[in-house]
Structure 1
Amino acid sequence: MQDISLDYIVKEVIDRVKKEIFIEVEASGRHIHLCEKDINILFGQGYNLTKSKELSQPGQYACNERVTLIGPKGTIKNVVVLGPSRPHTQVELSLTDALSLGAKIPVRESGNIDNTPGITISTEKSSITLDKGVIVAKRHIHITPEDAAKFKVRDKEEVKVEVLGTRPLIFEDTVIRVSKNFRTYMHIDYDEANACGYKKGTLCRIIK
């Protein structure tokens, strides 16, 4: 029992030290956020998205629903819908996905969809064609105000971040996003995850 208690104490101390120095990284795959109007077109009038699992950010969740994306030169099937609904439909892809679709997609912060390309979105029931809304999400860190103070960063600041995967890399131009409604995590896409040798539990540190 003594050994078990000591192991537990050591683990707790290590975990606390990690939280003081490091931030956990999450890899985000291709997905889509839908507005209510587009949900009704794609799945039926009055349709409610069905929750599959909670995500790390409070109130955000993956849905059971899937869509197909149709670009100028290719198609990507089985793209997960994230909930809840948003004011504007937004598709988030990697640069590799953009090549598969034959589309030129800019790197943008989430929500900044002006002057972005559109795409056709289809389900078994219907399809829509957007005139804008497709982006490669700029890597970013969701961070609480308390953690922002601890790490000495501010909202919209861009920082360098060392990601300690199996192939450690320093990512520049990482956007800090501060909100009391966030949990502190860094988000990268699958291209970036593959580059740094990401696996679940990978940590990073902000370089100031």
Structure 2
Amino acid sequence: MDTNNIELITKLVVEAINKSETSKHGFLVPVGVSARHVHLTQEHVEVLFGPGYQLTKKKDLMGGQFASNEQVTLVGLKLRAIENVRILGPVRKASQVEVSATDALKLGIKAPVRESGDIAGSAPIALVGPKGALYLKEGCIIAMRHIHMSPQDAMAAGVNNGDVVSVKADNERGTVFNHVKIRVDDSFTLEMHIDTDEANAAKIAQGDTVTILK
């Protein structure tokens, strides 16, 4: 069974459980573990890959985004680097790099925890592609943990766009995540996004479920 089928089955099971009596104990959410990645403007795509270059799609993601086939190398202070970092499309109005705290330490940078898009005053970083290099004076962040959901899911969970909630992983680590931002949009499917550091510390894998605490 491929990954897409497993993710679909997980979502269907979560929906069924959330409609049952057990939902009174909290709202279940499947987890997506986000690896380091990059968002670029079209201008910066062309700096790294050549004039007129367009990102090519590898896999569709929620909200109209996609994982592209293109990858770059991240270079931090003292020329410390991380290779093969995937670009997500489509292109954006501002370039942004999302890493874990461990990545930031390896790169030698002080990346702040921010909501996606909030890059003012964030860490500087350099990117290297097959056709050129790019230096961002700001733009590298550690993404704030968050939950994507549709308006229907938000209504069922009793939350609104922009709310900040606590979420429990009910496994042997028994981790509670505080400061989890709710993001609601018609294009979203239900999923909590945490980075690889958070997933490893809480012993959570892609497709596991957590509960929004009442």
Separation of aligned partners in 1, 2:174 and 2:183: 23
Give the one of 65, 68, 73 matched to 1:68. Answer: 73
Separation of aligned partners in 1, 2:122 and 2:15: 42
Separation of aligned partners in 1, 2:15 and 2:145: 25
Separation of aligned partners in 1, 2:130 and 2:169: 40
1:166-177 pair list within 5 angstroms: 167-177=173-183
Separation of aligned partners in 1, 2:74 and 2:206: 27
Partner residue of 1:42? Answer: 48
Partner residue of 1:30? Answer: 36
Report percent identity of matched pairs.
43
Deviation at 1:87, TM superposition (A): 0.6
Deviation at 1:94, TM superposition (A): 0.3
SS, match of residue 58 in structure 1: helix
Structure 2, unpaired ranges of 5+: 1-9, 20-26
Kindly tell me the number of residue pairs found equivalent between the two proteins. Answer: 196
Separation of aligned partners in 2, 1:118 and 1:49: 23
Deviation at 1:201, TM superposition (A): 2.0
1:132 lines up with 2:138 in the alignment = yes
1:61-140 pair list within 5 angstroms: 61-73=66-78, 74-140=80-146
Note if contact 1:164-1:202 (Cα within 8 Å) is conserved in structure 2: no
Measured against aligned partners, the alpha-carbon deviations of 1:141-174 in whole angstroms (never above 9, x if no partner) come to 0111111111111111110001245533110000
Partner residue of 2:16? Answer: 17
Separation of aligned partners in 2, 1:137 and 1:152: 24
1:179-198 pair list within 5 angstroms: 179-198=185-204
Measured against aligned partners, the alpha-carbon deviations of 1:19-62 in whole angstroms (never above 9, x if no partner) come to 4341110000000001011001110111111111122x132111
Amino acid paired to 2:186: K
Separation of aligned partners in 1, 2:193 and 2:115: 12
Give the one of 154, 162, 170 matched to 2:160. Answer: 154
Q: 1:16 to 1:174 in 2, by over 3 A?
A: closer
Q: 1:137 to 1:151 in 2, by over 3 A?
A: same
Give the greater-gyration-radius structure (CA).
1
Note if contact 1:23-1:203 (Cα within 8 Å) is conserved in structure 2: yes
